[in-house]
Structure formats: structure tokens, C-alpha cells
Amino acid sequence: MNEFPVGVSLGESARGGAGEGCDPVYGEPQRAITGVKDVLLVASGKGGVGKSTVTVNLACALSEQGLKVGIVDADLYGPSIARMLGTGGGLEWNREGQSLPAVAHGIPAVSVANVLPPEAALVWKGPLVAQAVVQMFHQVAWPELDLLLVDLPPGTGDVQLTLLEQIPVTGAILVSTPQRLAMADAERGIALFHDLDIPVFGLIENMHSYICPCCGEEQPLFPRQGVEALARRRHVAYLGGIPLEPGAQRLADEGVPLLKGEPDAVASRAFRTLAGTVRDAVEREARSRLRDADEETRKAHQAFWERLMD
């Protein structure tokens, strides 16, 4: 019987119910992930907008710039990261009983696809999903990482709510295409993060143009300015557009990120620019958190001395 790499059974006990050993984790306090400095959510309101492609190539671009980056494929019902990285095999375990992330192209990653047959359907209810998601962070032997990217499923369901409750998140970026339906769903995602005080570093416009394979000219696929207008309306940054490359899908099916297979492609250059912007946003947020912590410490000291003098 296959098992999830962190001990959640995929046998009959998981079908239609929580099963043995999968008590809900709701309400537990947040715990930092051992060895991981920052956690960045890569989200979308709608499926099919290229979120996983952005996650993989952004990770590669950040790695090129000197950061130690990993990926959690939290899209349990539609995992794509293992295929895109070429890590479809099983995961190994260490002596402490933790699973070791699969590593490809210098990127350690964990996905439910590492232990399930490609045709298998995951039939899990909320409590089991919640436990599995948390264990992907805390029962995996992650190496020392500057940034852990989390490829979220579309929408605002159990996975998102569990993560935001259980995992200390640095911020989020959202991926959208210029279609109205995709932008409407992305706007709902922004609202969720704002409601829960999660910093939104910005919107990425994927497939904003098309690179002609014959002449190499960049041509628009959809009406322009829609995603930029959404970013302005919701007061978040527009992080730029990623063109659709003809070879990107072929490389993804071969387990090779575009950045590795076609490093000089227009989209590869766009991912490198995006990586610099994201890195700067994460660093700014880290400095802001440090200032806030210093201010809280100062206030605590001041309150202590005021009580002492009373």
C-alpha cells in the first residue's frame, strides 16, 4: 500500500472519511518550519493560469540569484510540481522517520505525486487534508532554506485556511491571466489574504503575450492592462507579465523548467526579473517584521519600568 511520505495513510481508511490517526489540526498554534527563513505562497483564484509553471521557474530564477529555495506542492488534488521538476519517483526517509524532499535542478520539493500513481485520484476530506498539509512542512527534513515556495490549489478552501492558520507565512503572490474570469477569482484571493493580514507582494500576469515560433515577435494574446488595472484597484503591486513560450509545455512534460531548458528565452528573462522583485519584497517584509519586533520589545521594557516605578 502506498503511503503519504509523512505518514498519512492512502488506504481504505482515507476514503470518504478522516481515518485512523488523522485528528484535525484546527486551532493549534503556528510553528516555524525548522531551517526555513521565509514562506511565500503562490496562489491563484482560478485553475489553469500557469501557477505551477510560475512556481517552478521562479524557484529556479531565485536559486540562480543565490537563494536556497524549496517548493511544497500543496495542490493535493492536482499536483504538478513533481512532473515539472522530473521528480516523479518516491521519497526516501531519514533515521528520524522524516521524509527527504526530492531534489532536481537544485530545488528540493515535496509533492503527493511522489507517492501516488499518475492516474490515482485523491479522495480526502477536510481533516485529513489539513493534517497532510501541515505534515508536509513539519515532518519533512528540509535543508536550510532562504525561501520556501508553496504552490497552492486554486480557490480559497481547506488547504489555504489550514496554511494560514498553522504556518507562519511571510507573504503571497497571485498569478492571473488577462481573462475576466481569472481576474475576478484573483481578486477574491487578494481579498482573502487582506482579510487575514497576509502581505500580498503583487500580481503576476501570466500568458500576457505570445512569442511567435516563426519570427520570434511578441504579440498580445488578450486585451492589455486588465491585470495592471486590477492591481491598482486592489492596491497591490503589478509584478510584470510572463509571455507564453512555445517550448514551455514540451519542457514541462520532460521535467525541465523553462529557465533550464531555454535560459535565453524571453519568458526566462521575465522570470529572472520577477525573481529580483520578489526577493526584494521578501527582504522588505523581513526588515518590517524586525522593526515591529523591536518596537514590541521597546514597549514591553517601557511598560516594565513604568510598573516598577509605580
Say what the pLDDT of residue 293 is: 59
49 is an annotated ligand-binding site residue: yes
89 is an annotated ligand-binding site residue: no
User: What would the pLDDT profile of 247-260 be if each residue is shown by its tens digit?
Assistant: 888 899 899 999 99
State the average pLDDT over residues 290-303.
62
46 is an annotated ligand-binding site residue: yes
Report the alpha-carbon distance of residue 38 to residue 283 in Å, rounded: 9
**Residues forming beta bridges with residue 107, ordered by sequence position:** 104
pLDDT band at 296 (very low <50, low <70, confident <90, very high): low
Is 281 a residue whose pLDDT tops 90? yes
| CB-CB neighbours of 13 under 10 Å | 15
Is 242 a residue whose pLDDT tops 90? yes
Which one is predicted more confidently, 297 or 251?
A: 251
Say what the pLDDT of residue 9 is: 37
Place of cell 476514503: 15
DSSP assignment of 282-300 equals: HHHHHHHHHHHHHHHHHHH
51 is an annotated ligand-binding site residue: yes
Say what the pLDDT of residue 113 is: 86
48 is an annotated ligand-binding site residue: yes
50 is an annotated ligand-binding site residue: yes
Between the two ends of the chain, the Cα-to-Cα distance in Å is 67
User: What would the pLDDT profile of 159-208 be if each residue is shown by its tens digit?
Assistant: 888 888 899 999 999 999 998 889 999 999 999 999 989 999 999 999 98
User: What would the pLDDT profile of 36-48 be if each residue is shown by its tens digit?
Assistant: 999 999 999 888 8
99 is an annotated ligand-binding site residue: no
**Under the phi-then-psi rule, with left for phi > 0, alpha for psi from -120 to 50, and beta for the rest, what region is 19?**
left
Domains of the chain (ranges; CATH) run 36-297 (3.40.50.300)
pLDDT band at 11 (very low <50, low <70, confident <90, very high): very low
Query: Minimum mean pLDDT among 46-60, 90-104, 136-150, 255-269: which range?
Result: 90-104
Cell of 26: 484546527
Percentage of the chain lying above the pLDDT 70 cut: 84
User: What would the pLDDT profile of 131-155 be if each residue is shown by its tens digit?
Assistant: 888 889 998 999 999 999 999 999 8
State the average pLDDT over residues 293-308.
61
